[in-house]
């Protein structure tokens, strides 16, 4: 079921007891973060702060100590004096559980989308014309509502502010952590187009509010937004961009989805929703944005302009340090009447993004299996921030099979950033940490079963040997085949009770009083 817009999703959450309205005053400066962090870690509900009152935004200011060293910096954003009552409520933790993440994607459980993708990817050739027609109808039904469609008028443009009217200070942008360099937009969809091909990209890149009409755009070295900006720079012109907030949450999920190259995020959002995404042309730049968004920031990025961005309390659980990043200059701010401001926070896990990451893991497993078909299951533990560690079970067929899978994972899109890969036999439940630790301890000899490599890592990985580049290691935790990697002894069998005894005890169990 597609959600009409973000408000419809909030109404659904409330009807199911998944949303709590907060009438008490709460400040976007640190207080909302502290409240939301406690609720997230306790497995609590989505929150709608209806009375957002706090100090006006303080933007980053030069750090005289760093200036003396010849490099500008930014002070942590200290709370200024005075108080402002923001006109927009703040919604947070809206996808912070398996239930809410599933509702966000319009299904009872987000694994349903994995089944849909798996059905589309089945390679079997239909047996006869009738089966072929059925398959064609099935594929057509799944993809019919996928392509986005353009509309002329849109709720996201009920209010249009341009030029000096634009003031980001009117939005309740969160300053999340005490040493953050300023307020940050944390749940954005950033829209750009490839200057060469015109293809759209939608990514979720944090946006630091640096002034009424100026933002820091956190385009990391591996991101498509960065590639688009570089292509615009080669042509000697700025790149147009829009930052959209709100709309059906399937759109925000699509912005973080590890889609194959060339797949449009709004097309994928239409697939998830089973309904086309309505798009409207922005007022001041040639970019299409979701018509049902709550708020849209329009503007340009000069490929040759940089300013200090950060620090920021990041999903790694540590502050990412201040560095020079592109500057996004606003030309317009549009919004719905009575717009709701969507937000999230990141930090020491678990957080709301844990469930967003779990949905990515489950929904895209069929695509991973398309490249590495021997994979049975995969678990990217939230405690390791997803991209740092992977537990993988495989159908092992030959000596060195585990190493083949490790190498394949390091060549797959976002999985290329995985620092630790543990490979297990097919009968290991990699979602069960107890079983994973048992198999690691039982089957892995670190001196024999480790594979070291190097390659790209997350640019935010502060432990890496260099920015965006570091070491990787894989561990073969499978049963060893004769002669594999020098193993010459007989390999023991895993202890298991016989099936007939298990069935007999299953029948007896209700009578045992246990």
Spans of the chain, pLDDT less than 70: 58-81, 123-145
Distance, CA of 417 to chain centre: 14
pLDDT of residue 64: 39
pLDDT of residue 457: 82
Q: Give CB contacts under 8 A, 24+ apart, made by 75-83.
A: 75/181, 76/178, 76/179, 76/180, 76/181, 76/311, 77/29, 77/175, 77/180, 77/181, 77/182, 77/183, 79/29, 79/30, 79/54, 79/55, 80/55, 80/56, 81/55, 82/55, 82/56, 83/53, 83/54, 83/55
> Could you check whether 6-342 and 372-499 share the same CATH topology?
no
pLDDT of residue 122: 73
pLDDT of residue 67: 38
Listed by start position, the domains of the chain span: 6-342, 372-499
CATH tag, 372-499 = 3.40.1670.10
The side-by-side arrangement of strands in the sheet containing 469-476 is 375-379, 389-394, 420-425, 469-476, 450-456
6-342: CATH topology is Pnp Oxidase; Chain A (2.30.110)
pLDDT of residue 345: 96
Single pTM value for the model: 0.86
Catalytic residues: 314
């Amino acid at each position: 079921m597609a959600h009409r817009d973000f408000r419809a999703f909030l109404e659904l959450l409330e009807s199911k007891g998944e949303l709590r309205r907060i009438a008490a005053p709460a400040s976007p400066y640190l207080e909302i973060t502290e409240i939301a962090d406690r609720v997230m870690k306790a497995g609590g509900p989505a929150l709608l702060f209806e009375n957002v009152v706090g100090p006006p935004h303080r933007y980053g200011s030069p750090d005289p100590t760093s200036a003396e060293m010849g490099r500008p910096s930014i002070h942590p954003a200290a709370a200024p004096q005075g108080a402002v009552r923001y006109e927009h409520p703040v919604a947070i933790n809206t996808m912070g559980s398996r239930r809410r993440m599933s509702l966000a994607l319009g299904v009872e459980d987000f694994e349903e989308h994995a089944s849909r993708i798996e059905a589309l990817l089945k390679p079997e050739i239909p047996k006869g014309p009738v089966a072929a027609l059925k398959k064609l109808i099935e594929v057509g039904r799944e993809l019919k509502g996928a392509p986005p469609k353009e509309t002329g008028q849109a709720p996201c443009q009920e209010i249009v502010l341009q030029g000096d009217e634009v003031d980001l200070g009117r939005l309740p942008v969160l300053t999340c952590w005490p040493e953050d360099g300023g307020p940050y937009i944390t749940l954005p969809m950033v829209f750009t187009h490839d200057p060469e091909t015109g293809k759209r990209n939608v990514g979720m890149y944090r946006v630091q509010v640096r002034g009424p009409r100026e933002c820091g755009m956190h385009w990391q070295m591996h991101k498509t937004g960065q590639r688009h900006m570089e292509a615009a720079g080669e042509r000697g012109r700025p790149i147009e961009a829009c930052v959209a907030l709100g709309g059906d949450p399937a759109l925000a999920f699509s912005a973080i989805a590890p889609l194959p190259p060339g797949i449009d995020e709004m097309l994928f959002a239409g697939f998830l929703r089973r309904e086309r995404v309505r798009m409207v042309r922005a007022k001041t730049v040639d970019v299409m944005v979701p018509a049902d968004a709550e708020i849209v920031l329009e503007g340009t990025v000069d490929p040759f302009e940089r300013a200090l961005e950060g620090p920021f309390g990041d999903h790694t659980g540590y502050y990412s340090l201040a560095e020079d990043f592109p500057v996004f200059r606003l030309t317009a701010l549009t919004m719905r009447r009575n717009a709701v401001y969507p937000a999230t926070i990141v930090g020491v896990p678990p957080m709301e993004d844990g469930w967003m990451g779990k949905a990515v893991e489950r929904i895209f497993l069929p695509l991973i299996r398309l490249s590495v078909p021997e994979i049975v299951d995969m678990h990217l533990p939230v405690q390791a921030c997803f991209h740092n560690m992977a537990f993988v079970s495989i159908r092992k067929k030959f000596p060195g099979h585990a190493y083949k899978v490790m190498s394949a994972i390091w060549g797959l899109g976002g999985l290329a950033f995985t620092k630790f890969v543990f490979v297990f036999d097919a009968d290991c439940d990699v979602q069960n940490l107890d079983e994973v630790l048992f198999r690691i301890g039982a089957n892995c000899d670190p001196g024999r079963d480790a594979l070291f490599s190097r390659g790209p890592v997350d640019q935010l990985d502060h432990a890496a040997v260099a920015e965006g580049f570091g070491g990787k290691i894989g561990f073969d935790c499978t049963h060893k085949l004769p002669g594999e990697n020098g193993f010459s002894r007989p390999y023991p069998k895993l202890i298991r009770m016989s099936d007939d005894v298990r069935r007999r005890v299953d029948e007896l169990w209700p009578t045992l009083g246990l």
